[in-house]
Structure 1
Amino acid sequence: MSFHGRRVPVKLDLCRRRDGGLAGHWERSPLILRVSTFDPTRLRPSDFIDIPRSANLFLEVFGHQPNTSRALPWAKVSFRHADSSYTRRDTRFRGFLYYHVPLLSRPLSGGLRFRCTPAPAPASFAHGQDLLCPTGLPWTIPFPNLVRFGGRPIMQSLLRDNLASLVDVLASRKSFHERAHPDRPVVHAVGQPWFLDLHVPAMIFVPGPNKLLRCHIYPAVARYGALVVCFEHTANPDHPHELALRVLDRRSSNVSFHPTYAHLPPPVRGSLLAHPLRTFPRPWTWNYDTPQKAEMAAGLFCLVNGPGVDVRPSDRIRVSLEHTMHYSVPSPRDFAWYEGEEGEPSP
């Protein structure tokens, strides 16, 4: 990783992220570094990063914009919220940025991660560990946020190295309608841990064939409190597709419920998340075979069945599911936007 002498000042607004990290009001001169790839199989010794946690990092990615000779602009990456001991400014990160796609998942499930390695050599990549957030989950910039916030530098690098397709890039833009949701987790499989903040309505995105499907999961039931949860099958013989939420860990020492939900039992590790509208103990469950919004049903269908192309929904909901999952296929105008022939993609 080569350093450049030029340093650019930046100022952000102070706020505390829901996952416990900090962002903002840090006047810094960001480091400007150069990377050659995000493919872990093509890393070079020059791609090694050794920076303080508090630094803003500007990446210069090798490549050029399509149909032009103009070099790619900077892409900014910040690690401040990644360190659980974020109050310590002497922490340093040493390792490689790389693009990760979970096994048995769709391309829209991918994201940028940071692998901490014991040595500044690509051969040490396999012996390293991924950087973690305060939640205990891997620090990740989801693929849709890379498209929106990383802009053309990161997007072009992923396309050049065949880590993503142009259809995936355009689908990500259309899924968010030009507005990214950095606090909303992308959940691609049953059993995947994800962060649940109990004081805001819980919404996740499930990768579908051609878009990210929005699923509203749980209401805001508490003044404060956070959990790490995962979906799991309920093993209900009458509803084979039924899902519940298992509490894997509590990220808050206690949970303060709103008066409306004071009847809910305190969530403990290993328990199922309770139904918020029932006065007697009962798990909160989801089933894509029950009547609900088409996008929610499509998301649950993709979550249960994964990326298997041979799986089809029941006839009762097939039409609405297929319409929701496939209506955002990129149009010729979207491809024209990418080539620079038009200003914006189609809505």
Structure 2
Amino acid sequence: MTPFTFCRSKPISYCASNRGYSVEAGKAGHLVSQRHPKRHKIVSTLNPALFLPSDYVDLSGKTRPAVSFPSKRIGARGVIPYQSRDSRRLPFPPQSAGFLYYRRDQDAAPLEGSICLRVTSKNAPASFDNGHDLLLPSGLPWRIILPQIACHAGLTALRAQLLQENLVTETQLSRCRTILGQGYIYPELTLFRLSQEFPIRFSGGLKLTTVGDVMHRFQLNSPLFIWMDNHTRVDYPWAGSGLACFEPSADPRHSGRRVIHMRITKIIDPVSSIVDQGTLLKPEAGELLTRLNPHSRTFEPWKYHLDAKNNATSTGLRALWNNSRIS
């Protein structure tokens, strides 16, 4: 139940709920301002199977909303940001109302899991399955991933609630702290396994973080650039943005080898041509990213041999393969 602050009854009294203050008439009719603790939404659970109508939250328009949990210990409150851009915190968009829950997919990697917001039109727990997860401007779901929960001081309450409900283990949190340490992490660009979507700008390189036994950071340019002016400079022929994922190659020629492709799963900003060329086909939703093979002079899906090199990119991508269930 959400706590409320009441003004005591007096012969002459004024009660204002704005900004957590109450105003009462003191001696000789003087107004006395008293600050009361700010009220926060109390959420009883992060487990969809246990939701109550009172767990419904509305974060619309809020920059750093605070959510409390039914614990008497100090600090049982979590501040939940939406997104930062150019050092500015963006508020949650309109219609950001629903149920906060912990999501862990069936094929999740060992340290994969996140807090998401399932947007629903009403506060009935039965509406959860018919709702959808809140999205970021990139098209990915808004989420607070497990390494953030494990390491960020402002998420202590979320961490404690997940442990209390046995949704995560102390071993998982400890491993996250060991891997991440004092480093930074961007949820949108952090991958745990193949098939996870990530945002992609077609006019630039990819900076990704992968989490396995250790954390890897690397930049991947080769899928999107082309050589110009007799191989003297690099350019990006396409503008626009979308979502993509890596997947194991199904080509029989790659049998027994660890080879991956990139599939464009969704177009967010329309694709347009920047450079007149013919070596990188226009990215299309649902299709593998396809380039001209300079040796065979035929178009083939872009591929990356994970064991051909031993650089930061190969090491990072191998972590995704090792965390995935490859049939």
Shift of 1:185: 2.6
TM-score, length of structure 2 as denominator length = 0.68
Partner of 2:289: 273
1:143 and 2:160 are equivalent in the alignment: no
Partner of 1:232: 247
Is the partner of 2:209 in helix, strand or coil? Answer: strand
Q: Distance in 2 between matches of 1:178 and 1:201?
A: 26
Shift of 1:245: 0.5
Tell me if structure 1 keeps the 8 A contact 2:279–2:291.
no
- Bigger Rg, structure 1 or 2: 2
Q: Distance in 1 between matches of 2:92 and 2:163?
A: 35
- More strand per residue: 1 or 2? 2
For the aligned residues, what is the CA RMSD?
A: 3.8
Is the partner of 1:254 in helix, strand or coil? Answer: strand
Change (3 A) 1:157 1:7: farther
Tell me if structure 1 keeps the 8 A contact 2:191–2:209.
yes
Partner of 1:300: 317
TM-score, length of structure 1 as denominator length = 0.64
Q: Which amino acid aligns with 2:66?
A: F
**What does 1:41-190 align with in structure 2 at a 5 Å threshold?**
41-63=49-71, 71-72=74-75, 74-79=77-82, 91-149=94-152, 150-182=154-186, 184-190=188-194
Q: Distance in 2 between matches of 1:74 and 1:258?
A: 51
Is the partner of 1:158 in helix, strand or coil? Answer: helix
* Correspondence for 2:270 among 241, 244, 253: 253
Q: Distance in 1 between matches of 2:40 and 2:108?
A: 33
Q: Which amino acid aligns with 2:120?
A: T
Q: Distance in 1 between matches of 2:92 and 2:318?
A: 44
Tell me if structure 1 keeps the 8 A contact 2:306–2:318.
yes
Tell me if structure 1 keeps the 8 A contact 2:63–2:92.
no
Deviations 1:181-206 (A, max 9, x none): 22543334433332113455313334
1:2 and 2:2 are equivalent in the alignment: yes
Partner of 1:290: 308
Change (3 A) 1:164 1:212: farther
Change (3 A) 1:57 1:277: farther
Change (3 A) 1:79 1:6: farther
Q: Distance in 2 between matches of 1:50 and 1:128?
A: 14
Is the partner of 1:109 in helix, strand or coil? Answer: coil
Give ranges in structure 1 of 5+ residues lacking alignment: 9-29, 65-69, 82-86, 312-347
Tell me if structure 2 keeps the 8 A contact 1:2–1:34.
yes
Tell me if structure 1 keeps the 8 A contact 2:149–2:156.
no
Q: Distance in 1 between matches of 2:200 and 2:3?
A: 38
Partner of 1:18: none
Q: Distance in 2 between matches of 1:156 and 1:43?
A: 18
Give ranges in structure 2 of 5+ residues lacking alignment: 5-16, 21-37, 85-89, 226-235
Is the partner of 1:146 in helix, strand or coil? Answer: helix
Q: Distance in 2 between matches of 1:255 and 1:167?
A: 47
Q: Which amino acid aligns with 1:91?
A: P
Q: Which amino acid aligns with 1:101?
A: R
Q: Which amino acid aligns with 1:160?
A: Q
Q: Distance in 2 between matches of 1:43 and 1:111?
A: 17
Q: Which amino acid aligns with 1:186?
A: T
Q: Distance in 2 between matches of 1:262 and 1:7?
A: 60
Change (3 A) 1:200 1:38: farther
Q: Distance in 2 between matches of 1:141 and 1:93?
A: 15
Is the partner of 1:53 in helix, strand or coil? Answer: coil
Identity of paired residues, percent? 24
Is the partner of 1:108 in helix, strand or coil? Answer: coil
Q: Distance in 2 between matches of 1:106 and 1:173?
A: 16
